[in-house]
Amino acid sequence: MNEVFLERMKNMLQDEFDDYLKALDDPMHKGLRINTLKWDAQSFKDSGLCSWKETPLSDHIFEIPEDVKLGKTVEHHQGLFYLQEVSACSAVEILNPLPGDFVLDLCAAPGGKSTQIAMKLNHQGLLITNEIDAQRAQVLLSNCERCGISNAIITNSAPEILCPQLVGCMDKVLVDAPCSGEGMFRKHSKAMDDWSEAHVKACAQRQKRIVDQAVTVLKPGGIMVYSTCTYSVEENEEVIDYLLQTYPDLELMPTTTQFGRPGYDVGLCDGSKVRRIFLMDGGEGHFVAKLRKKQGTFKELKRIKSNQPHKSVNIFLKDQLSSIPLNVYMVKEKVYLADAFYDLGKVRVLRQGILAGEIIKERFEPHQHFYSSAFLRPYFLKITSCSHDEMVRYMQGEVLTHPAPKGYIGLVWNEHIIGFGKSDGQTIKNKLPKGLRQR
C-alpha cells in the first residue's frame, strides 16, 4: 500500500492504526439490501439464497458472506434485492426520504443509493437520479428498471446544467460525491493505484463545486446528505466546513445512527454530528453528514401536460391492465407512464417514469420496464407462471411451448415477473432484451 497514505492513516487513527491494518486482512463487508418495492426480509431469509447477518442499519439490510455470488441469480434479475456494501447503505438511511418527497440524487451511478431512495418513496413523490458519465448512466438506468422503479427521472448531465432547473424545488438531495475512494481499496485496486495527495486535493475541489450546485436545489427546510467512501479529512469534514462557512443558511444536523463513530472537529464542522465508518466499525469505509437549509425560496417544478398517445397504446394498455393508474406521455416514438411529467430544459433526460414501449411501424412494442415495474404489478391482467425449467430456458432467450392467451404476456416465476413474451396461443416468443439473457 502507498506509504504516504499509510502515514496519513496512522496520524488519523493513532492508537487504532494497528486495528485498521489487521482489519485489511479480514473478509470484505458484503451487503444485500432487500428491494421492498418487490420483496420482504422474511422471504429472503426463507429463500435459502445465502447465509446472512443482521446489521444495525435496518431490518432489510444484511451482511452476507464474502464468497457468495448472487449477481447472476434469477432473484437478482427480478429486482428482489440490490447488492450493496453495508456502510454504503448508511447515507440513505440518514437522508430518510419519505413517501411524497421530491429527492435529487446528484451523483447516482451505478444506483445503489437511488434504488434505496426509490424504495423509501414507495412510488410516491419524485426521484431525480443523475449521473454525469454517459456509460455509467446506462448502468443506472438498467438498475432502476430491474428494481421496478416507476417514479424516477433519470438524467445524464453535469450538476451545473441540472441544478439550475431545480432551484428551490427539492425536499432532499443526496451528494454521494466522486472521491479518492480510500474505503474502496480492497474492492477496486484502481482506487489504490490512482491515489496521491494531489488526487485527494483535486477531489476536494471537485466536491466543493458539486455541493455549490446541490445546495441551490433545496426548499426551505430541505435536507442535504453529503457522503463519500473515503477517509481523508480534506474530502469530508473540510467540505462540510466549507459549506457552513459559505452558506450561513445551512445548519449541520446530527445523523442519529448508531452505526460507525463520530468524525473530527474541523472549523465549523462539529465532529460529533457527522458519521465515519472505518473497516473496524463493520463497513468498508464511509463518511456521512446531514445538513438542513434553514431558509430560502420554494419553487414548483414545471410540469408538462400528458399528450394524446397513438391509438395502439390505449389498445395495448387496456388489454394488459385492469385500469390505467398513470398518465401517458409520448416523446417521439417512445411511450412513458408516470403520475406527472416535468420540463427540465436542456438537461439530458434518459427516462421519465416507466418506459411502457415504443411505436414501431404503427404497432406498439412493449418494453421490459413495463413488466418489471413494481407499481403496475397489481394491475396486470395477462401473466402466466412458468416452471423452473421454462424459466431457465426463458432466461437463455428460447421460445417456450406454453399455452397462454394470445398477445403480449408477462412471465412469472416464483410469484415474481421475470420478463415478457408474445403468445400465439401455444408458444411464447421470447422478448427478453438480448443484454439480459444468460448464456
Phi, psi dihedral angles at 317 (to 5 degrees): -65, -40
Contact 417, 383 (CB under 8 A): yes
Single out the segment in contact with ligand SAM by CB under 6 A; choices: 67-75, 107-115, 292-300, 338-346. 107-115
CA of 268: how far to CAs of 273, 328, 354, in Å? 11, 48, 43
Is residue 229 part of the annotated active site? The answer reads yes
Assess 109 for contact with ligand SAM (CB under 6 A): yes
C-alpha cell belonging to residue 206: 471537485
- Residues sharing a CB contact under 8 Å with residue 392, sequence separation 6 or more, in sequence order: none
Total number of residues that touch ligand SAM (CB under 6 A): 17
AA letter at 265: D
**Which residue from 108, 147, 214, 338 is in contact with ligand SAM, where contact means CB under 6 A?**
108
Give 31 or 111: the residue with its C-beta nearer to ligand SAM: 111
Give yes or no for residue 353 binding ligand SAM (CB under 6 A): no
Stretch that binds ligand SAM, among 38-46, 102-110, 240-248, 271-279 (CB under 6 A): 102-110
Interface region with ligand SAM, contact rule CB under 6 A, candidates 108-116, 148-156, 237-245, 364-372: 108-116
| Per-residue cell: 254 | 446530527
Tell which one of 56, 110, 168, 262 touches ligand SAM (CB under 6 A): 110
- Report helix angle 237-246 to 197-214, nearest 10: 40
Please report whether residue 210 would count as binding ligand SAM according to CB under 6 A: yes
The DSSP secondary-structure symbol of 9 reads H
Binding track over 163-192 against ligand SAM, x by CB under 6 A: -------------x-x--------------
Contact string 237-256 vs ligand SAM (x = CB under 6 A): --------------------
Nearest Cα to Cα of residue 378 among 148, 41, 116, 40? 148
x/- contact string, 130-159, with ligand SAM (CB under 6 A)? -xxx--x----------------------x
Of the candidates 89, 229, 269, 386, the residue annotated as catalytic is: 229
162 φ/ψ angles, rounded to the nearest 5 degrees: -75, -50
φ, ψ of residue 255 in degrees (nearest 5): -85, -15
Give the separation between CA 42 and CA 60, rounded to whole angstroms.
9
Amino acid at 204: A
Residues lying near ligand SAM in the complex (CB under 6 A) are found at 88, 107-113, 131-133, 136, 159, 176, 178, 206, 210
- Catalytic positions are 229
